[in-house]
Structure 1
């Protein structure tokens, strides 16, 4: 499909929702993509990317950012506590803060570094046992806990269950964010980002529809 087509679809979905397309940030998910594909998207002028793993981002983005210093990378996958410091040095936002221990680790390292990436709290809207995230019934307390740690919490993130209607989960995330005075909504992927835009998404995560099918070793 490609970057232009995705941007056209974002513009159309935004117009239909009565929103400004400029308020919607497209995260081009570059995980497990060959460097030449990533560079092709950089050459098209796109500057916001998403990675799932600290180690993969480490091996890719410092070199790219020498040539494209305005490129920004967000961590959209789970973060292990022992990789917190490196993640905070690499990423301009972390979308997967999902437990108090991790929040405390980020707060401690932020004090040492004198800086902190933007923070999205991951909500397990489907309450799936195998999935990371704070339960919807616990998110209010977790937001307050993170604020008490002076973390720059900008929004919430969710990944709906594959077998359920995503719009129900997007609507729930929006309700939870509004209740906590948060503007950021990281939700919507290749198959459902138009629905997410209609329900207020500020950050959508699109991978293979931009780059082509992922290449695994």
Structure 2
């Protein structure tokens, strides 16, 4: 049954986070597990909600808007995290729907989010995405551009909680996580959104405060 399988996977992921946190002499509670529910229907999400999971990640505004109002009406305390790239023209909708935005990566988006937050009187936490592996096909600001983007974000009133990254695939992620952690320290930022299903224990040992886990919770989707 999907319910039983999902609950077991959730317990396994929580245990792996707790073990990694202990290795780093951190409390497990210092790590927020974001269940990446993108592309999954409500019936696949409900078992996690029933088991007490409350932080979820979506990568499209429209998909989240279709799924989550009804689920939030049934389950108190849900926090929604936008983990995908955000178009500037969707800033108003994102600010209204999400509690945290993890892919703030360019000046035009910073400006759009600033206007949207001023208009809505609502200020979701923001993570600035860094292109930590300098990969042209990926989003994220260049490391060299990070100081200027952070300055702009603070100037327009974005609540910058921390940094986010997606390390290069198929290589050891630890050096990239360590670099992001150093950048966060250098800029006085306490939170790190890093680590996914294949590498979240490593991210936790290096300081991740938010891990974005999809397939390890929901199973691998068939092609």
On whether the aligned pair clears a TM of 0.5, the verdict is yes
Partner of 2:104: 97
Alignment of 1:48-67 (within 5 A): 48-67=55-74
2:158 is the counterpart of 1:134: no
Query: Matched residue of 2:144: which SS?
Result: coil
Query: Matched residue of 2:211: which SS?
Result: strand
Structure 1 Cα separation of the partners of residues 33 and 133 of structure 2: 24
How far off its partner does 1:111 sit? 1.0
Task: Decide whether the 8 Å contact of 2:85 with 2:103 is kept in 1.
Answer: yes
Q: 1:69 aligns with which of 70, 76, 87?
A: 76
**Cα displacement string for residues 33-89 of structure 1 (whole angstroms, at most 9, x for unaligned residues):** 122110111011110000011111011001100101311110000001111111111
Partner of 2:188: 181
Q: 2:20 aligns with which of 5, 13, 22?
A: 13
2:158 is the counterpart of 1:151: yes
Residues matched between the structures, number:
216
- Choose between structure 1 and 2 for higher RCO, CA contacts under 8 A separated by at least 6 residues: 1
Structure 1 Cα separation of the partners of residues 215 and 206 of structure 2: 23
Task: Decide whether the 8 Å contact of 2:41 with 2:67 is kept in 1.
Answer: no
Structure 1 Cα separation of the partners of residues 222 and 67 of structure 2: 15
Query: Matched residue of 1:137: which SS?
Result: helix
How far off its partner does 1:215 sit? 6.0
User: TM-score, structure 2 length as denominator?
Assistant: 0.94
**Cα displacement string for residues 125-148 of structure 1 (whole angstroms, at most 9, x for unaligned residues):** 011111100011111121111111
Task: Decide whether the 8 Å contact of 1:32 with 1:215 is kept in 2.
Answer: no
How far off its partner does 1:164 sit? 2.5
Partner of 2:124: 117
Structure 1 Cα separation of the partners of residues 168 and 16 of structure 2: 23
**Cα displacement string for residues 132-182 of structure 1 (whole angstroms, at most 9, x for unaligned residues):** 000111111211111111110000000001032211110110011000000
Please, which runs of 5 or more residues in structure 1 have no aligned partner? none
Structure 2 Cα separation of the partners of residues 176 and 136 of structure 1: 9
Task: Decide whether the 8 Å contact of 2:96 with 2:122 is kept in 1.
Answer: no
Q: 2:34 aligns with which of 27, 39, 55?
A: 27
Task: Decide whether the 8 Å contact of 1:187 with 1:205 is kept in 2.
Answer: yes
Q: CA RMSD in A?
A: 1.1
Whose helix proportion is higher, 1 or 2?
2
